[in-house]
Structure 1
Amino acid sequence: MTTENATTTGLPLTAGAWTLDPFHSAVNFTIRHLGISKVRGRFAEFDAALTVGETLAGSSVTATVALASIDTGNADRDAHVRAPDLLDVAKRPTMRFVSTRLEGEGEDWTMEGELTIGDVTRPVTFAVEFGGLDRMSEDAPRHAGFEATGEIRRGDFGLKFAPGILGEVVKIQLDVQFVEPA
């Protein structure tokens, strides 16, 4: 891992606006079904931005996920989840995260923030692992890789449909790469 252009954030990242590499990033989730197994899925449409400041307090992460882009590998189930009696993507088209605090060192970090689904905003915390930096070629910008995990409770966001069928806890797994500013 190179430390060129390091800031005082504790990570070897260049200050500025890092952009998401959507081809090497994923927003995944897991929820229990009937309490006996897990359903795994992903959201195909999302965007995120990492702003690295000269200090950790000046750094932030924002992300927006299109809820209609849910993909659990079953088209009928996905259509049902999008419907008004469940997720109601017409009423809740996006999920948005805005960080409020970043802390840590080395490879292990914590990211606190506010997650909004529809008209409900709640705090959420992610454990973040910094995967490192690398270039795809000698003249290409560096990519920074991160894995973030956290969980939310559906009921906290007014998503109280299908109790007993779907679990209350939704586990979120993010694998993202950001591209260094020019």
Structure 2
Amino acid sequence: MTQDNASKTLTTPALPLPPGEWELDPLHSAANFTIRHLGIAKVRGRFRDVSAELYVGETADEVRVSAVIALASIDTGNPDRDKHTRAADLLDVEKRPTMTFRSSRVSGEGEDWTMAGDLTIGDVTRPVTLAVEFGGLVDSPVDQRKHAGFEATGEIRRSDFGLDFGAGFLGDVVKVQLDMQFIAPQVQAG
């Protein structure tokens, strides 16, 4: 192996996934978050309306991930709190209906990966890096297709996106946990 090929192998490892467009399994995926309330307790919630796309190439340099979350789909287990969170003085889902993510770089190997990209909330875009754990690849007995599982975790600061309402009541840091399951592309019979 030449030096050039050796360095490329180290920086762009082969992926444990077949290449192609993977589809999100929404029944086995979730976008969860945690935020501090009054600095002493955590409020946990999720967004129920999530779409995501995963394109897998031959190497990590060719992986692309994009996701869209409908902010109005927030669910903290308290309908009154959710209604207030959607309102103009908090998330203002009329002006900011979605949160979008587009990856710019995926790196790592084995079970531990890092995904960098741009997160957009309303008209503000900021770079975000997520730690990604690859949960594995299995053949599903239900649809006889390969399923891959991932957990992505990270933190964002509300103030970075102009969402600095509730200072003193709500923490600035929001911890994000994405549990995603994707289904392999269907193999075309030739």
- CA deviation after TM superposition for structure 1 residue 104, in Å: 0.2
TM-score (norm 1): 0.94
- CA deviation after TM superposition for structure 1 residue 56, in Å: 1.6
Separation in structure 1 between the aligned mates of residue 59 and residue 151 of structure 2, nearest angstrom? 21
Checking the alignment, whether the CA contact within 8 Å between 1:131 and 1:147 is kept in structure 2 is yes
When Rg is computed on C-alpha atoms for both structures, the one with the higher figure is 2
- CA deviation after TM superposition for structure 1 residue 37, in Å: 0.1
Checking the alignment, whether the CA contact within 8 Å between 1:10 and 1:106 is kept in structure 2 is no
- Over the residues paired in the alignment, what is the CA RMSD in angstroms? 1.2
Question: Which contiguous aligned blocks of 4+ residues in structure 1 show a shift greater than 6 angstroms?
Answer: none
Q: 2:37 aligns with which of 24, 33, 36?
A: 33
Q: 2:107 aligns with which of 103, 110, 118?
A: 103
Instruction: Deviation per CA, 1:105-142: give whole Å up to 9, x if none.
Output: 00000000000000000000000000001122186110
Higher helix share: 2
Unaligned runs of 5+ in 2: 1-11
Aligned residues: 175
- CA deviation after TM superposition for structure 1 residue 11, in Å: 2.5
Other-structure match for 2:84: 80
Separation in structure 1 between the aligned mates of residue 114 and residue 164 of structure 2, nearest angstrom? 28
Bigger drift between 153-162 and 52-61 goes to: 52-61
Checking the alignment, whether the CA contact within 8 Å between 1:21 and 1:176 is kept in structure 2 is yes
Separation in structure 2 between the aligned mates of residue 105 and residue 29 of structure 1, nearest angstrom? 26
Q: Percentage identity across aligned positions?
A: 69
Q: 1:24 aligns with which of 22, 25, 28?
A: 28
1:127-166 → structure 2 map (5 Å cutoff): 127-137=131-141, 140-166=144-170
TM-score (norm 2): 0.90
Checking the alignment, whether the CA contact within 8 Å between 2:48 and 2:75 is kept in structure 1 is yes
Unaligned runs of 5+ in 1: 1-7
Checking the alignment, whether the CA contact within 8 Å between 2:15 and 2:58 is kept in structure 1 is no
